[in-house]
Amino acid sequence: MWAGQMLCESFNSVLKHIVQEDRPNEELGDGYGFPSSHSQWMGYFAGFLALHFSLRHRFVSTGFRLLDWARDIFLFSFIISWSVAVAYSRYYLSYHTASQVLWGFGIGVAFGAAYYLLMEFVSVRFPNSLPGRLRTAILTNPLCAWFRLRDGWAVWPDAGTEAQYRLWRKEWDRQRIPAKQD
């Protein structure tokens, strides 16, 4: 996700220097206004996460369908609301025009969706594809091992959250139980 976010931000910088559209209020920010980088950043965030939580991530069930459904509704509502609020703030605070914000958000959503589909969806389903081989090369690189970078979703549908919790809980319980004395 974060590599794609950085690529999206780089793409934003390139677009700004190609289009060279001024901001509506030059006193509020340096550089060009089109497209809004905050809006593009949040559009990417929303597009990537919406696809990820829809297509790949699996939460541990609460055991109650209504609670699971409410969690999902809350999650998607939060992601969309937060993204739209940040994008709107750029217009509201006069850093960007409505067009700059809408284009930025749209470019971000499209970039996030494209990046997700290529690097997360295709590479997992077709590991011998170019994106799949690239992903494998990155994850097996010694530098990634040194930094302990990993793709939890490649192993667990919830990215290892439940497995980590169970290990933590086992150790927590072990430390809380007093040792038997002879």
Residue range(s) defining the domain that contains residue 106: 2-131
Q: What is the pTM of this model?
A: 0.76
Return the pLDDT at 180: 60
pLDDT per position as a tens digit, 30-57: 777 788 888 989 999 999 999 988 887 7
Whether 160 and 152 have beta carbons less than 8 Å apart is answered as: yes
Tokens of 158: 């919830």
The answer as to whether 156 is a domain residue is: no
The answer as to whether 115 is a domain residue is: yes
26 SS3 class: coil
Query: Taken in order 127, 131, 135, 138, is the CA torsion positive or negative?
Result: positive
Question: Per the structure, how many domains does the chain have?
Answer: 1
Tokens of 167: 């290990």
What average pLDDT score do residues 114-133 get?
Answer: 88
| Residue percentage of the chain with pLDDT more than 90 | 31
